[in-house]
Structure 1
C-alpha cells in the first residue's frame, strides 16, 4: 500500500529538535529545580522538556522567537528565550558539554593527543557586545567563533569575540577554555599534547606561552609556501565549524545580547558531541 505524503505539520513534529528520552535523561538532572509551594495561585511553570524543544527548533531553523509555531506545543517564544537565558546563567549548557566529553573519553572516542584551532566570521546584524567592524565584510559589524577540537573534530571549547579581533590573540584563551575532562580514573585532562593551527596563529609569543605549559605547537609560518602538510590533519576543525553552521541560528548573529548567542554556541557544541556518541 502506498504511503501518503507527510504534511508540513507532521514533518516539523518529527524533526531533530524533538528531545528523545536518551538525551532528556542526560539533560534533566542538570536543570535547576524550581520549587513551587503547594497552593500557590497562578499557572504552573511550562514543561522544561517542551521548552527545550522550542529552543532547539529556533537553533535548527533560525526562526525569530516570536514566530515559534504555537501548534507545535513548545510554548511561546519568550518562555523558551527565558529558559535559554536562565539555564545558560547557571551553567547548564557547559555542564552538558562536559558530561558528554567525559562519556566520549570514557569510551575512548576522544583523542587529546592533538588539538586543532580555527575561527570563522559571521555577520552581526544587530550589533551589540562582542562585535566589531569586520575587515572581511567591508567594515560591517560582525563576530567571530573561535573553536578548538580534538584530533577527531570533537569540539572541546568555543568562544565569541568581535569580528575585528586577530585570531592569534585568542589562542591562549581557547586552550584555557578547555574544561577538565573526566571519564577515566586519575586527574581530569585539560591539556592536549600538541596544538595545530594555520598561519593566522603564527606568533612566537604565543608559541612560547604554550610551550611553557608543556604544549607543543604545529603552526604554519607566514611568508612560506603553502604545503606545510598540516591540512591533512587540520581539516577536522573546519568540518566541525561546518557542522556548527548547520544550525541556522549560528550562521548569522541575530542576538544583540552576547550571552544568548554564546548559549546557542555552547548548546550547538554539546549537540555535536551527542551525535558522536549516538553514531557509535
Structure 2
C-alpha cells in the first residue's frame, strides 16, 4: 500500500525534481580522485524515503533499504534543506492553489502547536505542556479555509505572542500583497497591548479572544488554523522530531504544508475542473 496517494506524490515530485535539477546530475561523481565511484542513488528513490520518514516519523535506519542507506538519506536531506527547497515548494503550491481556487485572505488566523523533540537541537526547549521534556513549537498562519500560508519553527518554551511578527512577516513573501485591513483571529495567548499595536501597525483588524472569558463563546473564525494543526499532526515526523538542525526541521514543516495544500487543491478542484486522473470521491488514490 503506498504511503500517500499517487495523485499527491506525482505532482509534488515533478516540481521537486525541477527545483533540485535532478535530471542534470551525473551518475558518477566527477570530483572523485580515482575517476570512479559507486553509482549515485536516484533522487526519486531518496525522495520516496524522505516521504516515508515524514509520514511514519521513523528513524532513517528503519526506513533505509538496500538501495538507499540512512547516510544517503541524511546527506541528500541536508543538501535539500540547505538550498531552501521546502520553502520554494510551498510557494509554488500556494501559487497553484490561488490561481485555480483562490485564497480567502479576508480573514486570517495564527496559532502555535507544541510537539516532541526528544533529541534536542537548535529549536528545542523545555515544553510547558509535557513535564519539561524537550519540545518544538511551530507557529502557522492560515487563511479562512485553513490553507497554510507561512510557518516558522521555534523552541517549545517560546511564547506565541513574540512569534506572531515573524510568522506574519513571511506571508507577503509567499503569496504577495494582502487585501486592505484583513481580519486577524487569535486566541487568548495573544491578548496583549503589544500584539494589538503590532496588528494596527501592520494593517490587520484584530479579533483576539479575551483572557478570563470562556473560549467557546468567542471562538469566532479561529477554528481553521486549529483544524490545520490537526491536519499537519497527521504526519509522524511533525509529532516527534528527531532532527536537530533548524533547516531540516523547517524543510519537513514546509513539505507537510505543501502536501496539505495539494490535498486541499485536488479536493476543491475535482468539483470545478476535469482531468484524466480526476478523483471521483474525496478519498484520494
Using structure 2 for the length normalisation, give the TM-score: 0.83
Contact kept? 1:197, 1:220, Cα under 8 Å: yes
- Pick one of 32, 45, 57 that aligns with 1:50: 45
Which residue does the alignment assign to 1:140? 133
- Pick one of 105, 122, 125 that aligns with 1:112: 105
Q: Deviations over 1:189-246 (max 9, x none)?
A: 25771211100011111211121121111111112344543x2421111111111111
Contact kept? 2:3, 2:55, Cα under 8 Å: no
- 1:173 and 2:190 aligned: no
- 1:22 and 2:11 aligned: yes
Q: Deviations over 1:157-210 (max 9, x none)?
A: 11111111111111111101225345xxxxx32577121110001111121112
Structure 2 residues without counterparts, runs of 5 or longer: 270-285
Instruction: Describe the SS at the equivalent of 2:222.
Output: helix
Using structure 1 for the length normalisation, give the TM-score: 0.85
Contact kept? 1:116, 1:196, Cα under 8 Å: yes
Instruction: Describe the SS at the equivalent of 1:221.
Output: coil
Cα distance change, pair 69–17 in 1 and its aligned pair in 2 (3 A): farther
The within-5 A match list for 1:117-196 is 117-181=110-174, 188-190=176-178, 193-196=182-185
Greater CA drift, 80-89 or 167-176: 80-89
Cα distance change, pair 24–123 in 1 and its aligned pair in 2 (3 A): closer
Report the Cα distance in structure 1 between the residues aligned to 2:57 and 2:158, rounded to whole angstroms: 26
Greater CA drift, 146-155 or 83-92: 83-92
- 1:252 and 2:247 aligned: no
Report the Cα distance in structure 1 between the residues aligned to 2:151 and 2:204, rounded to whole angstroms: 19
Instruction: Describe the SS at the equivalent of 1:85.
Output: helix
Greater CA drift, 62-71 or 200-209: 62-71
Which residue does the alignment assign to 2:229? 241
Q: Which runs of 4+ in 1 moved over 6 A?
A: none
Using CA pairs under 8 Å that are at least 6 residues apart, name the structure with larger relative contact order, 1 or 2.
Answer: 2
Report the Cα distance in structure 1 between the residues aligned to 2:188 and 2:130, rounded to whole angstroms: 20
- 1:67 and 2:89 aligned: no
Give the number of equivalent residue pairs: 260
Instruction: Describe the SS at the equivalent of 1:143.
Output: strand
Contact kept? 2:85, 2:251, Cα under 8 Å: no
Which residue does the alignment assign to 2:209? 220
Report the Cα distance in structure 1 between the residues aligned to 2:130 and 2:42, rounded to whole angstroms: 42
Contact kept? 1:17, 1:54, Cα under 8 Å: no
Report the Cα distance in structure 2 between the residues aligned to 1:17 and 1:159, rounded to whole angstroms: 27
Instruction: Describe the SS at the equivalent of 1:120.
Output: strand
Instruction: Describe the SS at the equivalent of 1:27.
Output: helix
